[in-house]
Amino acid sequence: MKDWGPPIAGHNNMDRQLHADAGSETPPLYPVFLALAGRKAVVAGGGTVASRKISGLLECGARVLVIAPEVVPEIEALAAAGTVELRRRPFAPADMEGAFLAVAATDDPATNELVFREGEARGILVNAADDPAHSNFILPSLLRRGSLAIAVSTAGRSPALAVRIREELERRFGPEYATCLTILGGLRDQVAARFPDPDARKTFWYRLVDSDLLDAIRSGDEDAVTRSIERALEGA
């Protein structure tokens, strides 16, 4: 923990430190969602942290290669099912061949640094768990509701705070948002055909998302959902 020093009359030590940090702060991270379907992702490590990273990569359709002498049962099961490729040995630079990104999640800092250096040399994105200095991207705390994805990042300064914010968002954005996006996506072709004019389409979409559509979905009232859509169509 940072030592804020003894109190100074007329000043707030935390405010002073924040102002000092502001002058030396690095540029903000560039937020992006990556399309990983079919792309090779390397995970160095076989523990619980690696297992969590693997789950996220598989969810997005990545081809996952795991390199670790020993793995937890969850990874063992994935390998046995052919869901991931497992190489039971320490990481080697050749493992990065053809990779799009890599995750270093071993308990050996030297190995994690090697993964990062090799990724830098090959132009491969690398995340080292709990080690921003050896990462050129970080993984946010993520909330998914179907096609809706809300990412929360503190630029690595406080993952715990990011998790708490995500948990708050989970209470705000329930499963009805997944259903809503399914409905909205299913209307796109129909709306494009009905409203050739871009401004009219824009009017429709905003009328619909600002309507009582979500309330109707929450209540499970399909007739109310239909009425919401019809009123938006008429208004546009």
Per-residue pLDDT of the chain (236 residues), as tens digits, is 444 444 434 445 545 544 445 445 678 889 999 999 999 999 999 999 999 999 999 999 999 999 999 999 999 999 999 999 999 999 999 999 999 999 999 999 999 999 999 999 999 999 998 888 899 998 999 999 999 999 999 988 898 999 999 999 999 999 999 999 999 999 999 999 999 999 999 999 999 999 999 999 999 999 999 999 999 988 77
Between CA 59 and CA 41 the distance in angstroms is 12
pLDDT in the model for residue 27: 85
pLDDT in the model for residue 155: 85
| Interstrand relation of 101-104 and 40-44 (parallel, antiparallel or unpaired) | parallel
Give Cβ neighbours of residue 232 (< 8 Å, ≥ 6 apart).
204, 207, 208, 211
DSSP 104-129: E--S-HHHHHHHHHHHHHHT-EEEET
Global confidence as pTM: 0.79
Helix (H, G, I), strand (E, B) or coil at 54: helix
